[in-house]
Amino acid sequence: MIKSFFGLSKSPFAIDENAPLLDHQQRHFDILKVHSQQGGLCLVLGEPGTGKSVLKNAIIRHDPKQWITPVINRSLHTWPSLLRLLCQALQIDISGNDAKCETRLIAEARAQNGRGRTIIPIIDDAHLLPVEALHKLRLMLEDFPKNHNLILIGQPALNTTLQLRPQLDLKSRVTYSAKLDLLSHATLTGHIQQQLDLAGLPHATFGEDAINLILRLAEGSLRAVKNLCIGALIEAVRDQTRTVGLKQVNAVLMQPHWRHNPQEEPAQPLIQSNQKSPSK
């Protein structure tokens, strides 16, 4: 729809794994590359929409001949499920008990190390991972070659969990941690212009007032900027205009998920008790 109306060969703001990283993402990526050669445990933290997934994809694509990067995107699992997901990611047989799966994973890691390759497991949304499973994963990785590197990607709550004393064995193995903060208006404006360049659209496609409103509503979130821009472009197509202004952005903001009305919040449920009221 957008491509046809604007005469484009590529959709603007589409997910592009080959798109260049933003400056803050590139900085963390360069550091992660070094730590991944040394081995250890790395944390990538950030609120939703700050660019963690883009950084993850850059790690996955980097040097596929030398790096093996099995990714676990479903982290609400017990240790047996997590273990088998790792086996599947490395195309290893998952039959048998946990001990057999662990033995196969360790053997595969050592075999790949003998070929000069490094295994860098990535667990996304790691703040949802049961901490017991994380402890067992740490114990298994003790038998991996020492140049492996585990990368945990999650929200800041993950770091809060690791600060607790029972998780000291995990925290002490962290060799690098990065926090992707909410982005500044200047950075987000540059991102919008970069995406317009990649799609072949002039910067003037978005009016200054429209961009200012998008930045204010996005509150530093890269994902929110993307969703607002795509929605505004769709509204521009509906209005048969090649310029996105306040009218188009406000049309997007009329959607319920962009509006917060305290009066629409559900009332607190009544607390019911099974206890009998005291007799008078």
Residue 9 lies in a domain: no
pLDDT value of position 186: 94
> Residue 114 in 3-state DSSP?
helix
Q: What is the mean pLDDT of residues 105-111?
A: 93
pLDDT value of position 21: 86
Each residue's pLDDT tens digit, 141-200: 999 988 889 999 999 999 999 999 999 999 999 999 999 999 999 999 999 999 999 899
Of 128, 153, 180, which residue is a domain's last? 180
pLDDT value of position 236: 96
What does the DSSP 8-state code read for residue 167? G
Structure tokens at 111: 């075999």
Asked whether residue 109 falls in the same domain as residue 97, the answer is yes
Asked whether residue 159 falls in the same domain as residue 238, the answer is no
Asked whether residue 58 falls in the same domain as residue 196, the answer is no
Residue 271 lies in a domain: no
Asked whether residue 164 falls in the same domain as residue 96, the answer is yes
- The 3-state secondary structure of 133-152, one letter per residue: HHHHHHHHHCCCCCCCEEEE
Largest CA distance in the chain: 81
pLDDT value of position 268: 53
* Phi, psi torsion values for 275, nearest 5 degrees: -75, 145
pLDDT value of position 271: 44
Across 30-44, 73-87, 190-204, least confident range = 73-87
pLDDT value of position 41: 93
pLDDT value of position 280: 44
Asked whether residue 167 falls in the same domain as residue 244, the answer is no
Q: What is the mean pLDDT of residues 248-259?
A: 91
Of 205, 269, 192, 262, residue with least CA distance to 237: 205
Strand order in the sheet with 174-180: 71-72, 122-123, 149-154, 40-46, 174-180
Residue 13 lies in a domain: no
Structure tokens at 127: 């703040």
Asked whether residue 63 falls in the same domain as residue 36, the answer is yes
pLDDT at residue 136 above 90? yes
Asked whether residue 173 falls in the same domain as residue 191, the answer is no
Of 180, 213, 238, which residue is a domain's last? 180
Residue 100 lies in a domain: yes
Q: Cα separations (Å) of 59 from 32, 149, 215, 240, 243?
A: 8, 12, 28, 40, 36
Q: What percent of the chain has pLDDT over 70?
A: 91
pLDDT value of position 274: 47
Residue 79 lies in a domain: yes
Domain coverage including residue 202: 183-257
pLDDT value of position 272: 45
pLDDT value of position 267: 53
Structure tokens at 124: 């996304």
Confidence of residue 102 (pLDDT cuts 50, 70, 90): very high
Q: How many distinct structural domains can be found in the chain?
A: 2
pLDDT value of position 22: 86
Q: Report the alpha-carbon distance of residue 103 to residue 101 in Å, rounded.
A: 5
Structure tokens at 72: 């676990």
Residue 96 lies in a domain: yes
Query: What's the CATH code of the domain at 249?
Result: 1.10.8
Confidence of residue 258 (pLDDT cuts 50, 70, 90): confident
Q: What is the mean pLDDT of residues 9-26?
A: 83
Confidence of residue 37 (pLDDT cuts 50, 70, 90): confident
pLDDT value of position 264: 52
Query: What's the CATH code of the domain at 32?
Result: 3.40.50.300
Asked whether residue 93 falls in the same domain as residue 171, the answer is yes
Run of H or E residues at 29: helix 23-38
Q: What percent of the chain has pLDDT over 90?
A: 69
Q: What count of residues does the chain have? A: 280
Asked whether residue 168 falls in the same domain as residue 51, the answer is yes
Asked whether residue 98 falls in the same domain as residue 170, the answer is yes
Asked whether residue 188 falls in the same domain as residue 87, the answer is no
Asked whether residue 107 falls in the same domain as residue 217, the answer is no
Of 180, 199, 231, which residue is a domain's last? 180
* pTM assigned to the model: 0.83
Kindly report the average pLDDT of the chain as a whole number: 88
